[in-house]
Structure 1
Amino acid sequence: MAYLGYGSVKFDVFLLVIGGWLVSLCLHEFAHAFTAYRGGDHSVAARGYLTLNPLKYTHVLLSIVLPLLFVLLGGIGLPGGAVWIDRGAVRGRLRRSLISAVGPAVNIVFGLALAAPFWFDPYPDEHRAFWAGLAFLGFLQFTAGLLNLLPIPGLDGYGIIQEYLPHDWRSALDKAQPWGMLFVFALLWWPPGGAVFFRIVYFLCELVGLPRDFVGAGSALIRFWQ
């Protein structure tokens, strides 16, 4: 619909971006679950985490409402889904770290896939709204990937290094995991912190070939009510 310009182009791009974001959330969480399953935690299959069903990964507030709100208001791809992993059933520290690492890796790979068409035609003139939506969706993948790699309790970046921390540090930081996202919100809304974060994201987008003006156009288009 966005490609053909059917009906309200803004609403079409909104559906494209939101639908693509839900797909990326499912792939992100499936990667966690599949890696855990291969590592020894077979309970993820019983919980339905290997089905790619978004209802198995989501919490209404944390997985849908807040991430969509941040996408619409600030263009931030929040990590919204969650799968419960029995890390004690997974053999080896490296495997447990890999479970956390594959989620952000999926976002980065998805972002690269969305950037690939722009390598051949960096400024497509036809169907511009569609390409703008695609570029903005790619931008969200890099925000989610980078955000998830921060070594903050509650994020995948902490899960990567968690196994290698001294026991006292780990015990203290594990207790702080419920507050990790609050710290992320504060960091992003703090002007210097948000500026540095988005500067890095835009640098990554330009590095892989996502045109910044298309990203900005896509961000504007999804606000179909304006």
Structure 2
Amino acid sequence: MTTAIKRSDRRISPVFLGIAAVTAVAGWAVWTGFADNTGLAVFLFVTGAWIVSLCLHEYAHARTALHSGDISVGAKGYLTLNPLKYTHALLSIVLPVLFVIMGGIGLPGGAVFIERGRIRGRWKHSLISAAGPLTNVLFAVVCTAPFWLDALQGVPPTFRYALAFLALLQVTAALLNFLPIPGLDGYGVLEPWLSYRIRRQVEPFAPFGLLAVFGILWIPEVNIWFFDAIHAILRGLGIEELESYCGQNLYRFWQADNPLCVSR
């Protein structure tokens, strides 16, 4: 039952509202060209929107767990969208942002602690794990909507590039997080259906799954194959590789601009 959840446990955190406000202002600055440093505005907009999506990702896990029987998520602050309440703020927020800055990869972090013993039914456990990356899928659909709806008329190029790069991050986050690797949500979807013996054997590797994926992506051949797949998906959604590339180029405002990326 969810009646034990206090109203204060559901109230949206001022921290989240502050992040959303910075994102909105930065997005307005990118759209209007108000900021003298367009790249900085793109950086703040994309980073803020990425953190908002991370918060919604973890909220989806917690909310699904709540309706599946784990009422402890309320007292832990997971329903407030406050990233400071997560089990590992470093893994949930700091590392994903660093991954974006370093490699342009939307690598998800880890997260909220669900008391699985309160939940009955394998389907519920799988749905809790799937809820997070499905949020990234939804976010990607929203980001790419102007492209596949052919509604870009009047949209400033800089904003279009920023949106394309943000869409790339959401697609990579969804795809990577659905991998059936210990420590990622894809394995969490699969785990309830595995035997107890296999789960015990795999359990020690869970803390290293995320770092292993990031390490593998640094292998040039794997990186090329992976981003070819990502750009194929984005092309299907109406985003050309040059657009997401220019968005990343603007995002890294401390680097030299590429002449192919005309902002105005």
Tell whether the structures are fold-level matches, with TM greater than 0.5: yes
Larger radius of gyration: 2
Residue aligning to 1:55: 84
Task: Tell me the amino acid that sits aligned with residue 14 of structure 1.
Answer: F
Aligned to 2:240: 211
Structure 1 CA distance for aligned equivalents of residues 127 and 94 of structure 2? 28
Please point out which of 111, 123, 126 is paired with 1:97. Answer: 126
**CA deviations over 1:42-66 (Å, ceiling 9, x no partner):** 0001101111122223734323332
Go from structure 1 to structure 2 and tell me whether the alpha carbon gap of 1:214 and 1:71 turns closer, same or farther (over 3 Å shift).
same
Is it true that 1:3 corresponds to 2:3 in the alignment?
no
Query: In the aligned structure 2, how far is the partner of 1:152 from the partner of 1:115?
Result: 27
Counterpart pick for 1:65 among 83, 89, 94: 94
Bigger mean CA offset, 12-21 vs 58-67: 58-67
Aligned residue number for residue 33 of structure 1: 62
What CA RMSD, in Å, does the superposition of the two structures yield over aligned residues?
A: 1.5
Q: In 2 relative to 1, CA 17–139 (structure 1 residues): closer, same or farther, beyond 3 Å?
A: same
Does structure 2 conserve the Cα–Cα contact (< 8 Å) formed by 1:25 and 1:81?
no
Deviation for aligned residue 1:81? 4.3
1:175 alignment partner in structure 2: 204
TM-score by length of 2: 0.81
Separation (CA, whole Å) in 1 of partners of 2:142 and 2:67: 25
Q: 1:131 aligns with which of 160, 167, 170?
A: 160
Name the SS of the counterpart of 2:78 in structure 1: coil
Distance 2:99 2:240 in 1: 22
String of CA shifts for 1:144-191, please: whole Å, max 9, x gaps: 000101111100000000011122111011111111122112211112
CA shift, 1:122, in A, is 6.7
Contact 1:58 1:64 in 2 (8 A): no
The CA distance in 1 between the partners of 2:87 and 2:249, in whole Å, is: 27
The reply to whether residue 121 of structure 1 matches residue 121 of structure 2 is: no
Matched pairs, number? 226
Measured in 1, the distance between the counterparts of 2:239 and 2:87 equals 29
**Contact 2:147 2:237 survives alignment (8 Å):** no
The CA distance in 2 between the partners of 1:206 and 1:10, in whole Å, is 24
Contact in 2 for aligned 1:58/1:80 (Cα 8 Å):
no
- The answer to whether the Cα contact below 8 Å between 1:124 and 1:131 also exists between their aligned partners in 2 is no
For residue 195 of structure 1, what is the aligned residue in structure 2? 224
Distance 1:60 1:163 in 2: 26
State the match for 2:185 in structure 1. 156
Q: Which amino acid is the alignment partner of residue 4 of structure 1?
A: T
Query: Could you tell me how far apart the structure 1 residues matched to 2:198 and 2:43 are?
Result: 43
- Larger mean CA deviation between 28-37 and 211-220 belongs to 211-220
1:26 and 1:57 in contact (8 A); partners too: no
Q: Identify which range, 14-23 or 125-134, moves more after superposition.
A: 125-134
Q: Distance between the aligned counterparts of 1:173 and 1:13, measured in 2?
A: 41
Q: Secondary structure at the match of 2:105?
A: coil
The letter of the residue matching 2:79 is: L
CA spacing shift, 1:126–1:117, aligned 2, 3 Å: closer
Can you list the C-alpha shifts for 1:79-121, whole angstroms capped at 9, x where unaligned?
1240000111112000000000111111011001110011243
Distance of 1:125 and 1:215 partners within structure 2:
18
Gaps (5+ residues) in structure 2?
1-28, 256-264
Corresponding position of 2:195: 166
Deviation of 1:218 after TM superposition, in Å, equals 0.3
